[in-house]
Structure 1
Amino acid sequence: MSAAPPSVFDAGLPTLDYDITDTPQQIRPQFCAAQQVAPIALGPIGPEVLSYPLARTVLGDPRFGIPPGIHLAAHGITSGELWDRVTRSILCMEGDEHRRLRSLVSRAFTPRATAKMDQTISEVITDLIDAVSDSGACEFVDQVARPYPIPVICALFGAPREDWELFSTWAQDIFKIVSFDIDLAAEEPTVLRAWDEFDAYIDDMIARRRTHLTTDLLSELIRAEDGGDRLDAGEVRMLAFSILIAGTDTTRTQLAASMQVLCDHHDQFALLRDRPELAMRAVEETMRHSPSMCSTVRTATEDVAIGEYTIPAGTFLVVNTFAANRDPVIYDEPDRFDITRDDPPPILTFGGGAHYCLGANLARRELSEALKILACRMPDARVSGPAPWRPLLGMSGPTRLPLEFGR
């Protein structure tokens, strides 16, 4: 029997010496240097997978699970009501129950199903642009990107327009569970109150849908059936919460990141204006080159021999999709931004394997429609001031994006 490969901690791997508050752009040179040496490097919170092939392998290997409640644990919260709620959501599930729920829910997020949202998506982004177009300038994050996803999520659920502000308030409070720059223990009552109000609203919608099904997502979840298996009301409620969490901040931060990189490459923005059929490619390329979600964390559930290394059981492993999406072995001139890349390998920004993002089709439609309309309405947009980014770990993307454009 051949000996197991050496542990990643004993293999002389390159070291990444960055602060957890550093942005992707600040750390990029270290990733480039480390990729020339090995597919894995040792980062500040554990080994980081940097190569595209190895990242794709890890994301698809069930021996690497999502550590439950990792954002809460970072705040010292490892038990209690908030912990129980978060760790019981589909976002933290593994195994048979996770597969069961995904099989029931996935049909509601097929390309055909999400295409029904096109008109709503177009109307929402158009209204947001109309509100700033006469001024010739805007703070894009606050005025366009941040308010964009909530009306789409509300329309997906079948919530009326007059309740959009309610959803926005609930989302703002609930999103504190994935923030690193607050005292979450102090904010826990606020989070739970917002979550309770959201759950009560969804419960009321479920009760009404059971007597009068429509074409919205909640109705589709109620209809969902697989071999006689159906979702109960608690599962529908939990999935509604998971969709709110997974489909809001990711889309708004990626829209801002995508807009920034297009403004920094005027030739590509002009190309998108002239060839709107490239909008979906523009989404893939902006998410490859400038993703708002740069990494995801996995835990080895057992000793795993992968490639030339062994990942010991219990190891926190950072799958650095930001680095993997610019792997020079896979992507020709990986730092070149080009929305006409011909049949590039699939990006890893939406994850992979059992935890591949359920809402990826919807997110792509939201982003492609927004970028297509922005290229038409703001073709000369330019960044007019500092556009700082959040750190690489967690949700990244610009916190501000001041733009100027022709009226």
Structure 2
Amino acid sequence: MSTAAPSVFEADLPTFTYGFTATPHDIFDDVRAAQSRAPIALGPLGPEILSYELARDILRDNRFRLPPGITLAAQGITSGPLYDKMAGSLLGLDGPPHVRLRKLVSKAFTPRATARLQDTIHEVVNGLVDRVLDAGRCDVVTDIARSYPTPIICALLGAPREDWPLFADWTEEVFKALNFQPEVTFDEAQIMRAWGELDTYVDDMVAARQSNLTDDLLSELIRAESDGDRLNLDELRMLVAGFLMAGTDTTRNQLAASVQVLCEHPDQWTKLRDHPELAMQAVEESMRHSPAASIVPRVAGEDAEFGGYMFPAGTFILVNTFVANRDPAIYHDADRFDITREDVPPILTFGGGAHYCLGANLARRELAEALVVLTRRLAAPVASDRPRGSHCSE
């Protein structure tokens, strides 16, 4: 008798559909209903992993890979210089090349490197609040969150303060290729021009440090060595751009989403204001309950049996970390927002396995400091429309 697992497409799994402008909250009831029936369902783009345990496991399973250049491919761009640049970034690599770079980069991206940014983080967020206090009101998204992460990434890399606006401009331009909106088009040549200017700037930074290494991240990357292997100039360029891309948009969107959910729960805002020691728990809980990045794409690199089903090679899969982070089998009263939760399993918002977010510690530190300052210095928050999420996490 055959014991082969049924195809995930032929197993009578629950199904749901949604439009591509829908937010996770718009479709939450339908997805939760599917989750109550099975840990996997069929969504409009293919199988979606809904349970916490299967989501955690598939993120650690090397048979399922990050699709290269997925944001551009979704817009019909599957070749050319921009696609090649995006697919060759740390966000786009997989397999041995990805493992090699992670091994080198992890030697530089240490908690010590992020800890020394504490003063900069404090200064940046307080400076942004100073600018809005006199007005008596602010839009957290545009007045604070949007401008918050880039200066911190610049300080981490060691770029001089007077050049931070350049990095902000380059990042905004490159992000036009990353934030997929069906109705938005972008100028590929203009993006490549901005990226080229960033590369040239990084070349000059590297040249200056070859004879005078300092204690910034770029110097640490130049120093990084594993069994005689070092990063070359192309890789250094690629990593700087990758840190800007990965460390800017998701952090600012998550800050907006975290403030939003705190505004929707005034008792939690007050609790954090009165107990700033809860800041890290507030970050974890807001990223669990209201994450800015809520899906992680994967593609089956081979025919793979997983979770009791067969996934044919090439199957596009969405790991729905939004609903997995609210799995009632894992979290008590999973839909409740409570910054005092303790002894809970790690959230899946930073991904997992080989592609676990390198900058997770820095992001947590940035968000925690911002939430402490905002709850202390801004009074009577009022929630407006919920901010939309950003591109997928790695």
- TM class by smaller structure: over 0.9
- The one-letter amino acid of 2:29's match is P
User: How far apart are 1:389 and its partner, in Å?
Assistant: 3.5
Aligned to 2:67: 67
SS in 1 for 2:117: helix
**Does the CA contact (< 8 Å) of 1:108 and 1:114 recur in 2?**
no
Change (3 A) 1:183 1:338: closer
Following superposition of structure 1 onto structure 2, how do residues 134-173 of structure 1 map, counting pairs within 5 Å? 134-173=134-173
Change (3 A) 1:141 1:151: same
Is 1:394–2:391 an aligned residue pair? yes
**Cα displacement string for residues 123-172 of structure 1 (whole angstroms, at most 9, x for unaligned residues):** 00000001001222111111100000111011111111111111111011
Distance in 2 between residues matched to 1:17 and 1:182, nearest whole Å: 17
TM-score of the aligned structures, taking structure 2 as reference length: 0.97
**Does the CA contact (< 8 Å) of 2:41 and 2:49 recur in 1?**
yes
Change (3 A) 1:96 1:121: same
TM-align CA RMSD? 1.5
**Does the CA contact (< 8 Å) of 1:202 and 1:237 recur in 2?**
yes
Is 1:57–2:50 an aligned residue pair? no
User: How far apart are 1:361 and its partner, in Å?
Assistant: 0.7
- The one-letter amino acid of 1:157's match is L
**Does the CA contact (< 8 Å) of 1:254 and 1:291 recur in 2?**
yes
Aligned to 2:259: 259
Distance in 2 between residues matched to 1:238 and 1:170, nearest whole Å: 14
Following superposition of structure 1 onto structure 2, how do residues 99-110 of structure 1 map, counting pairs within 5 Å? 99-110=99-110
- The one-letter amino acid of 1:387's match is D
> Any stretches of 5+ residues in structure 1 without a counterpart?
397-407
Is 1:245–2:242 an aligned residue pair? no
Aligned to 1:405: none
Aligned to 1:44: 44
Distance in 2 between residues matched to 1:302 and 1:327, nearest whole Å: 28
Is 1:85–2:85 an aligned residue pair? yes
SS in 1 for 2:198: helix
Distance in 1 between residues matched to 2:253 and 2:61, nearest whole Å: 28
Aligned to 2:20: 20
Change (3 A) 1:206 1:81: same
> Any stretches of 5+ residues in structure 2 without a counterpart?
none
- The one-letter amino acid of 2:126's match is T
Following superposition of structure 1 onto structure 2, how do residues 245-394 of structure 1 map, counting pairs within 5 Å? 245-383=245-383, 386-390=384-388, 394=391
SS in 1 for 2:176: helix
SS in 2 for 1:178: coil
Distance in 2 between residues matched to 1:60 and 1:54, nearest whole Å: 10
- The one-letter amino acid of 1:3's match is T
SS in 1 for 2:135: coil
Distance in 2 between residues matched to 1:109 and 1:155, nearest whole Å: 14
**Cα displacement string for residues 62-103 of structure 1 (whole angstroms, at most 9, x for unaligned residues):** 000011111111111111111111111111111112111111
Is 1:121–2:121 an aligned residue pair? yes
User: How far apart are 1:186 and its partner, in Å?
Assistant: 4.8
Distance in 2 between residues matched to 1:77 and 1:184, nearest whole Å: 14
- The one-letter amino acid of 1:361's match is N
SS in 2 for 1:42: strand
User: How far apart are 1:382 and its partner, in Å?
Assistant: 2.0
User: How far apart are 1:107 and its partner, in Å?
Assistant: 2.6
* Percent identical residues: 59
Aligned to 2:98: 98
Distance in 1 between residues matched to 2:319 and 2:113, nearest whole Å: 30
- The one-letter amino acid of 1:345's match is P
**Cα displacement string for residues 19-76 of structure 1 (whole angstroms, at most 9, x for unaligned residues):** 1110111011011101110001111111100000000010000000011111111111
**Does the CA contact (< 8 Å) of 1:177 and 1:184 recur in 2?**
no
Q: How many aligned residue pairs are there?
A: 393
Aligned to 1:402: none
TM-score of the aligned structures, taking structure 1 as reference length: 0.94
Change (3 A) 1:9 1:182: closer
Change (3 A) 1:185 1:267: closer
User: How far apart are 1:317 and its partner, in Å?
Assistant: 0.3
